[in-house]
Amino acid sequence: MPTFEEFRLPDAGEGLTEAEIVSWSVAVGDTVAVNQALVEIETAKSIVELPSPFAGVVAELLVETGVTVEVGTPIIVIDTDPTGARTRPVDDALPSEEGHGPAVLVGYGVGEHTGVRRARRGAPAAAGDPIREPAGDATAVSTSAPDLAATVPAPASTLASGSTPASGSSAPTPTSAVPAPASVTGPRQDAPSVVAAGNGSAERAAGRSASGGTHALAKPPVRKVARDLGVDLDSVVGTGPGGIVTREDVLAYAARAEGRTLATYPADDVPWLASGSVSADGRQTRVPVKSVRKRTAEAMVTSAFTAPHVTVFQTVDVTRTMRLVARLREDREFADVRVTPLLIAAKALLLAVDRHPDVNASWDEASQEIVYKHYVNLGIAAATPRGLMVPNIKDAHRMRLKELAQGLAGLTATARAGKTSPSDMSDGTITITNVGVFGIDTGTPILNPGEAAILAFGAIREQPWVHKGKIRKRFITQLALSVDHRLVDGELGSRVLADVGAVLEDPAQALVWG
């Protein structure tokens, strides 16, 4: 006997309440194993793959990609015993394509609350299967499955009859089910209520026909132009004699509806524009604020207007650091890791925290306490297509230089791919942001919420510099340290930044402090 198991959206970490379905890794009819990846979801912090808790065959995908659902919402149904006889009640059966069996109307997740139904393929319903009568309009919409390009509205009178297809029959009779269309994959000319999936113009035309509306007047050549451009003629206002739609009307409508990307926003460089809606004149695109970018905005606003920020700056000669980086890149010990000046800056910050542990703290407003951390989870601010992310390297204070390099490389690569787990984003104690990678000299970084300090590491440039009493060409960078003035006063912040600068100016200083 088959067992249908619903997999509900779990809490991906830290009490998150919702997530967006990014992409499905499986389709209806696929066989899945326990722990096989089912779906990618985007939480407020990162993209996470959800594994299957069941083995079996995918029966339904209850949520479409791009939809945000709350934790606990069923998102997929898995038949854990696909060889058993069907026992799950179905809504109705549709005439099938040859060799595929009927399409069965079943509940569609959140859509059930709005009267929406989804069609999927299945075995013929057995005689005696209960058929539920839909509430209100039982219009079916298509799924992403390739054999469900169109579905048919189920008349209430048919469902009320309670008849089922005869046992062994490949399709229900016309008196016991929905009238068969000419093709399940396309609309019938004599059945305007059957619409192709995703064809908005057909849906609107069907609605007007049902309500007694009229179609636009246009000559056959104009209708062909409209078809070629994907223009709904019924939406075009005709300016010809008697309200007839002319070729110019169609071309003008298509030009107004066509979304145009600004010259400063090449489409290939801004994939996030695809999720937005373009204005009629093409001059604006509105993209919903959600997931990572929404969480980042909330966190930055909270931090900026809760913690009193103070920023101190220092310009440093990092010529010796650049020489050290060049040597380490030739060292066999570091042959399998990427060595950059950021690595040395991170190590310098860790040494400064070790010398001034008071900077490694947080302010607990609820309990009115200062929490001093006896560990350093070093956050690395990473710019991603979905917004700013700050994953952290756990217990970075315990790591040798090579281990720190490995941690940096893995963490940033994972963050930019959007694969960082929520646990990697939590419990950071101090952060470094490498604004120099964008050619920026420095800035006034906003604190990561819950932390007392953040270091901005600027671009390294060759500049004239006074060295040993003479003007030399040296590698120079600028550092900026923002601190929470409730926890870190000017003296402590200055001492921390001075220590970071001292190690970058002369990496041998690390041997003295390390």
Give, in order, the Cα–Cα distances in Å from 161 to each of 86, 92, 108, 158.
22, 11, 23, 5
pLDDT of residue 226: 87
How many CB atoms are located within 10 Å of the residue 3 CB? 14
Cβ-contact 457, 503 below 8 angstroms = no
Beta strands in 258-411 (DSSP E): 277-278, 285-286, 309-317, 361-364, 369-372, 378-384, 387-389, 392-393
Q: Which of 47, 102, 67, 488 is nearest to 310 (CA)?
A: 488
Distance, in Å, from the CA atom of 180 to the CA atom of 186, rounded to the nearest integer, reads: 12
* pTM recorded for the entire structure: 0.53
Residue (of 248, 250, 272, 249) closest to 261 by Cα position: 272
Instruction: Using the structure block, give the residue that is written with the tokens 């970490």.
Output: 13
Q: Which residues pair with 51 in a beta bridge?
A: 37
- Distance, in Å, from the CA atom of 130 to the CA atom of 87, rounded to the nearest integer, reads 9
Question: What domains are there in the chain, each with its CATH number?
Answer: 4-186 (2.40.50.100), 216-286 (4.10.320.10), 292-513 (3.30.559.10)
User: Dihedrals φ, ψ of 47, to 5°?
Assistant: -100, 130
Stretch among 70-79, 130-139, 350-359, 405-414 having the lowest mean pLDDT? 130-139
Higher pLDDT, 238 or 89: 238
Task: Give 478's strand partners.
Answer: 315
Tell me the pLDDT tens digit for each residue of 104-117.
333 333 333 333 33
Residue 139 has pLDDT above 70, yes or no: no
pLDDT in tens, 298-355: 777 777 778 889 999 999 999 999 999 999 999 999 999 999 999 999 999 999 999 9
Bridge partners (DSSP) of residue 104 are: 93, 120
To the query of whether residue 113 is one of the catalytic residues in this protein, the response is no
Lowest-pLDDT choice from 60-69, 137-146, 474-483: 137-146
Angle made by CA atoms 429, 435, 437, in degrees to the nearest 5:
120
Q: Which of 100, 113, 356, 485 is catalytic?
A: 485
Q: Which residue has the tokens 């003035």?
A: 485
